[in-house]
């Protein structure tokens, strides 16, 4: 497709070289920007639903002088405060938050990065030490090179577009080819200026055991911001923000989302100025960040994933889900079925021996489990959560014959074996600390706080990271586990690295998470067939970057069915069920004390990587039979749930909820309906489905036969026809937090 003055090498990126205008489009979305004349900085023109590729953009020009400071007086060029910019700078007529800030040798912080050139590359950028989007040979990347007029510094802005996913991946690369060092005080991954503020802001917020609840609030003038300074993405704020039109629903309306591929301190900012323009930014948190850009070195920001949907929040989620499953998760783990696991934690906590574990494994095998996971407490002298963190040697009091003997007995049951580690944790009663006390993160001359009675290893120190790699490898090579759960149960306090010099202490947080990535990289490269699951006190480090290494993550330490419905609903805005650790546990629930029906715990848990978290030896025969059915149900729906399109539905009763997953060919679907609190004398319930073929006839649970258009416009009836057997209606069991599963199969008329 060629336009006068415009050319494209790949039908994804169109360029007017004379006017320096750039249009990225895949026919579904358009991302348009241009170089501002004289200023030579990048101006944002448009991001949203695809528009025509024009020969030039002069019909979209807006250049009213406006009030305020002028960069060039008497030129008719408005100040940057009035312009929508791609990567706004600090301190030069724009009084909003900048995307970056650099301190020069004389203490000055004013930069002037101007357009120099561009490149169009096939595929996506590759970063050896940072998680990145991958497996996308059919994608294209526009690279804009900017050069600072006050130094030798160079800045590359990367924009990757995909032919089949409505996403733009952005990040920035700073390079210092000169002889002087500079301090990067802020470096965001992406900034997006939008022409209006008539949006609702959507964020995913919470705390430990109640992560990623959905919050929606109107924008207001000024700054609205979320983030983390905990050294991890954190339970409190997911690194995701979305701006939705006021009328946007799950299936209708426009929404723009940005999420960050990073596991450390993050910051998401909405800045609405006095002219009603909205700036949307994400990246590494500015707090306690000071990166020294040495001569001949570069600094790469994490990738930001920007998406647009005109099909509501579900459309936005589909974009993210497809990207994660196809372009972030390691290819080796994209297709294999996930094992059904039993984790011993809530069954035994620290009180176990080999016989108790094997007995639990046999019960798990009987209900269909494939994988036995030994959690915390197998090492050192760990009988409580105080001590032993860092001494990764088996506790011979609990396992006198060693881990390998236990593993062999589990394998003899034709089950896989998994092991829990928390490599970042450190206790002062360990040989690791006594031999390497300088590896503790924090200044030993000052008071250091604890989290879960433990400290942290300084992962900014590559010697410490390599030591842990060798220590873990020794255990792995001896017992040959099939699965590893990597936990991290505390945040960073009193940040200080005994390894780094004093002038580099502003780099501790970022270098720490790079150390985490490095250990993950070494382990997954050496042991590609081990299934890794990430965890951080539940969902405390739940982000795109973690899924680059571990194809699944423990979604929350809260396994209560009611809480999990809310947590997994919010989580699904960005993350697909295929990566959500979701298990069935005992009642009363250990986190909430709530009692929920066993079938509801099963029905909710199958929408994730499924397993069990309680003492199966204490269950009744009826409960075991129900769990056997649950395991079979998971296996029946596994591929559909893991590979299909996930929808959050909007039932007629606002106190209820519903999930739906459709196969890509729209021939098979499953719906989970959640009733919440039981209601007496209620009316008829129904829910409108989504994403079906309107002309296809579907059979629902082998009974009703309804067309797709009926199911999407009239709705799925949730009540049955009791004519002729009314007594069955009055005698049916009623319970709070009830759920029902509906299976839809395409049939011929």
Binding residues: 208, 375-376, 452, 485-489, 535, 557
In the chain, count of helices (H) and strands (E)? 13, 38
Give me the long-range contacts of 138-141 (CB less than 8 A, separation at least 24).
138/162, 138/163, 138/164, 139/12, 139/163, 140/9, 140/10, 140/12, 140/13
H helices of 413-456, in order, are 431-435
Q: Identify the bridge partners of residue 426 per DSSP, sorted by sequence position.
A: 455
**Among 238, 391, 487, 558, which one carries the catalytic annotation?**
487
Radius of gyration over every alpha carbon of the chain, rounded to an integer in angstroms: 27
Cis-peptide into 588, omega within 30 deg: yes
Query: Is 557 assigned a catalytic role?
Result: yes
Q: What are the tokens at 374?
A: 């030994």
Cα(382)–Cα(391) distance, integer angstroms:
10
Please give the annotated binding residues for substrate, written as ranges: 208, 375-376, 452, 485-489, 535, 557
Question: Phi, psi (5° rounding) for residue 459?
Answer: -80, 0
| CB hemisphere CA count around 28 (13 angstroms) | 17
Q: Is 61 a catalytic residue?
A: no
Q: Tokens 């306090």 map to which residue? A: 493
Residue 140 CA, distance from chain mean position: 23
Structure tokens at 673: 């309906």
DSSP conformation letters of 557-597: S---HHHHHHHHHHHTTTS-GGGEEEEE--SS-TTT-----
Element of type H or E holding 687: strand 686-687
Distance separating alpha carbons of residues 343 and 598, to the nearest angstrom: 18
Per the CB < 8 A criterion, the answer to whether 507 and 291 are in contact is yes
* Residue among 370, 557, 645, 738 flagged as catalytic: 557
Active site residues: 487, 557
């Amino acid at each position: 497709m060629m336009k006068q003055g415009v050319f494209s090498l790949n039908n994804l990126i169109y360029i007017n070289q004379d006017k320096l205008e750039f249009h990225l489009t895949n026919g579904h979305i358009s991302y348009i920007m241009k170089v501002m004349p004289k200023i030579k900085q990048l101006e944002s023109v448009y991001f949203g639903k695809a528009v025509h590729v024009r020969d030039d953009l002069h019909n979209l020009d807006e250049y009213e002088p406006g009030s305020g400071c002028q960069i060039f007086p008497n030129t008719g060029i408005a100040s940057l405060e009035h312009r929508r910019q791609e990567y706004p700078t600090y301190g030069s007529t724009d009084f909003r938050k900048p995307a970056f800030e650099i301190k020069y040798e004389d203490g000055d912080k004013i930069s002037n990065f101007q357009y120099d050139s561009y490149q169009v590359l096939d595929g996506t950028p590759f970063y050896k030490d940072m998680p990145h989007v991958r497996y996308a040979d059919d994608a294209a990347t526009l690279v804009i090179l900017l050069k600072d007029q006050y130094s030798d510094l160079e800045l590359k802005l990367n924009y990757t577009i995909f032919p089949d996913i409505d996403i733009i991946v952005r990040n920035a690369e700073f390079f210092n080819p000169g002889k002087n060092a500079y301090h990067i005080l802020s470096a965001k991954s992406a900034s997006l200026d939008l022409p209006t503020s008539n949006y609702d802001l959507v964020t995913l917020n919470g705390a430990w055991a109640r992560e990623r609840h959905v919050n929606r609030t109107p924008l207001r003038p000024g700054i609205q911001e979320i983030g983390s300074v905990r050294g991890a993405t954190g339970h409190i704020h997911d690194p995701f923000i979305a701006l939705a039109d006021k009328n946007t629903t799950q299936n209708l309306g426009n929404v723009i989302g940005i999420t960050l591929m990073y596991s450390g301190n993050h910051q998401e900012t909405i800045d609405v100025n006095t002219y009603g323009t909205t700036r949307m930014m994400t990246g590494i948190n500015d707090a306690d960040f000071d990166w020294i850009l040495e001569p001949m070195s570069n600094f790469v920001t994490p990738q930001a994933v920007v998406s647009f949907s005109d099909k509501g929040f579900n459309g936005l989620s589909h974009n993210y889900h497809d990207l994660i499953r196809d372009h972030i998760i390691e290819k080796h783990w994209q297709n294999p079925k996930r094992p059904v696991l039993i984790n011993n934690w809530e069954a035994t906590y620290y009180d176990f021996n080999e016989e108790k574990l094997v007995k639990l494994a046999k019960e798990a095998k009987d209900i269909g489990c494939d994988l036995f996971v030994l959690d915390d407490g197998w090492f050192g002298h760990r009988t409580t959560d105080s001590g032993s963190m860092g001494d990764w040697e088996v506790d011979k009091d609990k396992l006198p014959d060693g881990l390998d003997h236990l593993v062999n007995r589990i394998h003899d049951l034709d089950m896989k074996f998994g092991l829990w580690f928390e490599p970042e944790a450190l206790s002062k009663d360990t040989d690791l600390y006594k031999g390497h006390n300088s590896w503790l993160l924090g200044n030993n001359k000052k008071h250091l706080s604890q989290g879960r009675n433990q400290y942290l290893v300084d992962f900014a120190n590559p010697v410490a990271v390599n030591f842990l790699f060798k220590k873990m490898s020794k255990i792995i090579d001896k017992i040959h586990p099939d699965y590893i759960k990597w936990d991290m149960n505390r945040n960073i306090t009193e940040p200080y690295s005994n390894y780094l010099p004093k002038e580099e202490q502003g780099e501790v947080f970022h270098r720490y998470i790079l150390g985490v990535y490095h250990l993950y990289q070494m382990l997954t490269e050496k042991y590609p067939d081990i299934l890794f699951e990430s965890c951080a006190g539940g969902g405390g480090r739940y982000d795109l970057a973690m899924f680059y290494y571990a194809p699944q993550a423990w979604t929350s330490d809260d396994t209560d069915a009611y809480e999990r419905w809310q947590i997994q609903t919010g989580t699904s805005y960005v993350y697909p069920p295929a990566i959500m650790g979701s298990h069935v546990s005992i009642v009363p629930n250990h986190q909430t004390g709530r009692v929920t029906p066993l079938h509801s715990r099963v029905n909710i848990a199958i929408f994730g990587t499924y397993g069990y978290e309680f003492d199966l030896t204490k269950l009744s025969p009826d409960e075991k039979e129900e769990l056997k059915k649950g395991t079979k149900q998971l296996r029946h729906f596994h591929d559909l749930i893991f590979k299909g399109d996930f929808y959050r539905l909007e039932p007629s009763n606002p106190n209820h909820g519903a999930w739906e997953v459709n196969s890509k060919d729209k021939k098979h679907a499953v719906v989970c309906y959640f009733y919440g609190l039981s209601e007496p004398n209620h009316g008829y319930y129904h829910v409108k489905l989504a994403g079906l073929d309107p002309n296809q006839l579907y059979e629902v649970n082998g009974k009703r036969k309804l067309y797709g258009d009926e199911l999407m416009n009239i709705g799925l009836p949730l009540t049955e026809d009791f004519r002729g057997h009314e007594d069955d209606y009055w005698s049916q069991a009623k319970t709070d937090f009830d759920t029902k599963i509906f299976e839809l199969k395409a049939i011929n008329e």
